[in-house]
């Protein structure tokens, strides 16, 4: 069955790829490659500690961040992992060593708790994080402790394109002005555009699964709410990734886009064959240098 996947797990479109499954969202590490590049080249920081949820999504995000950071002279000096149901991050904050920056890759309500507690306990290092740390669906739940938090995401509310403005207006019309719009909604909306474009290629036919998958993977969209979108030969989306800074606007926190990385691949700038010859990112891979 032709399937459009919203999944982070790297191997969905890598070592264990399925010919009928096309990932339209992004891999765990796909937003972390640009984040590491930004930390190195824009923030001029090299020594990082990380705080992540103790499961595959956390491992794979930090794996991507670590790879790019260390390939260009940086270093991960400490990796911390916490259970998904962690309520108190004080024991983890206490373990953060001297470093230039802290990368958090937490999901759900965890980034809200960690960010607030870390700042409340006096942590001074800049904070950066992946797509779930300050998505536009939760940025309003952060308080001023998140000010300055740099985060990378495959969508941003402040993308100035007309298609994004129409998307936001339609979401508010259908679900009310207080609807929380983030990359989840933007990704699934783009799925509709992908299916529509694929059906246009097949003359409206979807009965031949192989031909329909071929049509899906040949789709190139110049305009979606999340920006241009296409697919690589492994069935994974090639996307724009937005670097945002959390800041206070009026009485609430919002994200402001400060840089866009165009056409980001699941392999970043690496040779796919060499990339796939290595193990999937895990708790222990890439290994710590010290």
Give tens-digit pLDDT for 117-160: 999 999 999 999 999 999 999 999 999 999 999 999 999 999 99
pLDDT digits (tens, 9 = 90+) for 227-266: 999 999 999 999 999 999 999 999 999 999 999 999 999 9
Sign, CA torsion 135/137/142/148 = positive
CATH 3.30.70.260 fits 1-290, yes or no: no
Beta strands in 83-156 (DSSP E): 101-105, 127-129, 150-153
- Give the H or E element holding residue 65: helix 56-71
Cα dihedral angle (195, 201, 206, 208), rounded to 10 degrees? Answer: -130
Q: Which of 77, 81, 121, 116 is nearest to 99 (CA)?
A: 77
Q: Give 216's pLDDT tier (boundaries 50, 70, 90).
A: very high
Q: Which of 231, 157, 234 is nearest to 194 (CA)?
A: 231
pTM metric for this prediction: 0.97
Q: What pLDDT is stored for residue 281 in this prediction?
A: 98
Query: How far apart, in whole angstroms, are the C-alpha atoms of residue 99 and residue 76?
Result: 9
Sign, CA torsion 129/224/194/230 = negative
What are the two backbone dihedrals, phi and then psi, of residue 22, each rounded to the nearest 5 degrees? -120, 125
């Amino acid at each position: 069955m032709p399937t459009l996947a919203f999944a982070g797990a790297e191997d969905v479109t890598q070592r264990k790829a399925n010919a009928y499954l096309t990932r339209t969202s992004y891999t765990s590490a796909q937003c972390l490659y640009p984040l590491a590049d930004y930390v190195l080249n824009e923030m001029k920081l090299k020594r990082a500690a990380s705080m992540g949820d103790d499961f595959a999504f956390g491992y794979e995000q930090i794996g991507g961040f670590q790879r790019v950071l260390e390939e260009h002279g940086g270093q991960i000096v400490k990796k911390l992992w916490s259970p998904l149901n962690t309520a108190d991050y004080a024991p983890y904050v206490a373990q953060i060593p001297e470093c230039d920056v802290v990368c958090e890759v937490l999901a759900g309500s965890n980034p809200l708790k960690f960010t607030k507690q870390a700042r409340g306990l006096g942590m001074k290092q800049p904070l950066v994080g992946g797509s779930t740390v300050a998505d536009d669906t939760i940025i309003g739940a952060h308080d001023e402790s998140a000010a300055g938090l740099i985060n990378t995401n495959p969508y941003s509310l402040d993308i100035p394109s007309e298609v994004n403005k129409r998307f936001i207006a339609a979401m508010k019309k259908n679900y009310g002005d207080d609807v929380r719009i983030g990359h989840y909604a933007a990704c699934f909306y783009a799925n509709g555009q992908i299916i529509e474009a694929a059906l246009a290629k097949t003359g409206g036919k979807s009965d031949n699964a192989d031909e329909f998958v071929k049509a899906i993977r040949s789709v190139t969209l110049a305009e979606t709410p999340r920006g241009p979108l296409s697919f690589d030969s492994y069935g994974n989306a090639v996307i724009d990734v937005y670097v945002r800074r959390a800041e206070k606007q009026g009485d609430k926190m919002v994200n402001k886009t400060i840089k866009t990385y165009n056409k980001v691949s699941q392999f970043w700038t690496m040779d796919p064959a060499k990339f796939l010859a290595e193990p999937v990112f895990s708790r222990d891979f890439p290994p710590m240098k010290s």
